[in-house]
Amino acid sequence: MTSTTSFTALDTAFVADFHTMSTFGATENGGVDRQAGTAADGEQRRWLTSLLQDRGFTVKFDAAGNQWGLYETVPGAPFVVVGSHMDSQPTAGRYDGAYGVLAAAHAAFRLAARWNEPGASAPTFNIAVVNWFNEEGSRFKPSMMGSSVYTGKLELETALATTDAAGTSVREALESIGCRGTFAGPTAAYCAEIHIEQGRSMEREGITIGLVSSNWAANKYEFVVHGEQAHTGSTVIEDRKDALLGASMLVVAARELANRFPGVLHTSVGQLNVYPNSPVVVPSRVSLLLDLRSADEAVLAEADALLHERITEIEALANVAVEQNHSHSWPVTPYQPEGVELAAKVAADLGLSNKTVMTLAGHDSTNMKDIVPTVMLFVPSVDGISHNEHEYTTDEDIVAGLAMLTEVVDRLCHGALEDQDPVRTA
């Protein structure tokens, strides 16, 4: 690990921009609350626009609210798309996603300067810095919304019509912050993303750069438990159809499933909405979001079957009906091995300790790798803390990650994976 005293002026400028960026939606405890399409998200997007425009980049928004900073030195050539997301969960950390967008912008600035030096070798591809809309999916579901539209996995109209808990649509939210554009998006040749690990494995092993080789699969379910409204005092127990009792049993069922597959299955209920949520009323309706995740699709399939068996039992035990609405899922898929190999070479050339890792969380690059060769990089998370105001990565690591990303993007722009015959989007 380097010391901050060895930071260059460019490194120091990056850290300073990181601190400025973290003021948008800042919370009292050192975190951020910058949910997609909120005023804080809009202010930060305007700040990013200025940052990019001041360096000669052209900024455009597409119809799904993705923000693009285009640096086109090879007219008509496709782009290396590099970025992440700046939206956050409520009371979240400063690094998740935002680090990757700022690192992408600074990597692009460094490369633009490098390519303008006399005698520099000209790139073959252009650079598009991207701030994907609504990766988190906290205000509007599903997560990874902007990159799902760009990669053709989600219809634009479906995304725009999605509403938050207050009934505001994505279309309205984007219009209110001036971020709904008409740009079709650039033609991508390759993609790169850097992100914090959000786990402990790299920190534990003293590794600076994670080379992401594949992602865990996820099944996210939206359940509605239906009961019947009643008086909590006067209604005899056997007459009750308590939706919250059924929902609570589902919460416990999720943990019991994880206990059956120790270490290989992660499960959680992250959101519960109780109706009418009133002190003396047995709830008639509870909606909840339940996640199952694993690196082993057979385990995930077994967990899915066990969950549904348990739901049938819960319906009988709690005298409720459980409806399954939307679900969002993704399989285990590898990042292109040639991209992992390229990143390993770069890390070795830069003298950065590295290892291959899987990503347990979903990322926009999880979508992008299905359409173009994609390099996903991690830097360590202190104590593995994430989706928490105390999320932290050292300045040394964010600066090392920026150096790594810069070099990877430079090589991608110079066609390092060209003989791999990339699939390109139109």
Name the site residues for Mn ion (rule: CB under 5 A).
Answer: 96-97
Question: Residue 179 contacts by C-beta under 8 Å, 6 or more apart in sequence?
Answer: 37, 42, 45, 61, 65, 67, 133
Question: What is the C-alpha to C-alpha distance for residues 302 and 257, in angstroms, rounded to an integer?
Answer: 10
To ligand HGY, the closest distance from the beta carbon of 68 in angstroms equals 20
Nearer to Mn ion, 37 or 97 (CB): 97
To ligand HGY, the closest distance from the beta carbon of 195 in angstroms equals 9
Query: Does residue 181 interact with ligand HGY by CB under 6 A?
Result: no
**DSSP run (H or E) holding 47:** helix 39-54
Q: Give how many residues touch ligand HGY by CB under 6 A.
A: 6
Cβ distance 131 to 101 under 8 Å? yes
Cβ distance 81 to 365 under 8 Å? no
To ligand HGY, the closest distance from the beta carbon of 197 in angstroms equals 13
Beta strand 79-85 with 126-132: parallel, antiparallel or unpaired?
parallel
Q: In the numeric block, which tokens belong to residue 20?
A: 């400025």
Q: What are phi and psi of 184, to 5 degrees?
A: -80, -10
CA 418 to chain CA mean position, Å:
27
Interaction mask 120-139, ligand HGY, x per CB under 6 A: ---------------x-x--
Nearer to Mn ion, 32 or 314 (CB): 32
59: helix, strand or coil:
strand
To ligand HGY, the closest distance from the beta carbon of 145 in angstroms equals 9
Beta strand 374-379 with 209-215: parallel, antiparallel or unpaired?
antiparallel
145: helix, strand or coil:
helix
Nearer to Mn ion, 141 or 241 (CB): 141
Interaction mask 138-157, ligand HGY, x per CB under 6 A: -----xx-------------
- Secondary structure (DSSP) of 292-332: EEES-HHHHHHHHHHHHHHHHHHHHHHT-EEEEEEEEEE--
144 is in the binding site of which of Mn ion, ligand HGY, none (Cβ under 5 to 8 A by kind)? ligand HGY
To ligand HGY, the closest distance from the beta carbon of 290 in angstroms equals 12
Question: Residue 122 contacts by C-beta under 8 Å, 6 or more apart in sequence?
Answer: 73, 74, 115
Nearer to ligand HGY, 247 or 289 (CB): 289
Query: Does residue 36 interact with ligand HGY by CB under 6 A?
Result: no
409 is in the binding site of which of ligand HGY, Mn ion, none (Cβ under 5 to 8 A by kind)? none
- Secondary structure (DSSP) of 73-127: SSTT--EEEEEEE----TTB-SSTTHHHHHHHHHHHHHHHHHHTSTTPPPPSSEE
346 is in the binding site of which of Mn ion, ligand HGY, none (Cβ under 5 to 8 A by kind)? none
To ligand HGY, the closest distance from the beta carbon of 171 in angstroms equals 21
Nearer to ligand HGY, 83 or 123 (CB): 83
Exactly one of 149, 211, 265, 361 binds ligand HGY (CB under 6 A); that residue is 361
To ligand HGY, the closest distance from the beta carbon of 391 in angstroms equals 13
To Mn ion, the closest distance from the beta carbon of 103 in angstroms equals 13
Q: What are phi and psi of 71, to 5 degrees?
A: -125, 105
Among positions 55-74, residues that touch ligand HGY (CB under 6 A) are none
To ligand HGY, the closest distance from the beta carbon of 154 in angstroms equals 13
Nearer to ligand HGY, 24 or 330 (CB): 330
Q: Which residue is nearest to Mn ion (CB)?
A: 97
- Select from 247, 33, 248, 29 the least CA-distant residue to 139: 33
Nearer to ligand HGY, 193 or 396 (CB): 193
Interacting residues with ligand HGY (CB under 6 A): 135, 137, 143-144, 361-362
